[in-house]
Amino acid sequence: MSAWPVLVTLAALLFYFWTGLMVGNARRKYKVPAPATTGNPDFERVFRVQMNTLEWLPIFLACLWIFANYWDGRVAAILGLVWIVGRYMYAHGYTLAAEQRSMGFMIQAIAVLLLFAGGFVGAVMSLFGA
């Protein structure tokens, strides 16, 4: 097994942990006590960054590992890093204004789509002995 997908997985989990810290800081900054998730639009955007990252994390991780199983782990890792960069761009843009999240979202979605497609092709090819 290549260590590259492992390192990217750990980086993605670290990124998710960071989004959780962002939410904690936003709670204090905007005075939104737990368990509330609404009340201040600036807080709500930070909260949505974390929740949207959580929503995409299982899809990303499954696609990353399926892709890495059939193809070069370094290629999987590069696409994984693209996903993380896209998530960062999404987070940075969204915390500024909701309209600024689109580019980061598209980048991370394309990275997952490529990982998914590569995993699918690899699985189909393995069925036919290729």
Rounded CA gap, 124 and 111, in Å?
20
Annotated active-site residue 101? The verdict is yes
Place of tokens 């990982």: 115
Handedness of CA 55, 7, 105, 70 (dihedral sign): negative
Catalytic residue among 27, 28, 48, 74, which?
Answer: 28
* 5 closest CA partner among 125, 128, 118, 121: 118
What does 20-38 look like in DSSP terms, one character per residue? Answer: HHHHHHHHHHHT--TT---
Catalytic residue among 27, 48, 87, 101, which?
Answer: 101
**Residue 104, CA distances (Å) to 97, 100, 118 in order:** 13, 8, 21
Annotated active-site residue 28? The verdict is yes
Active site members: 28, 101
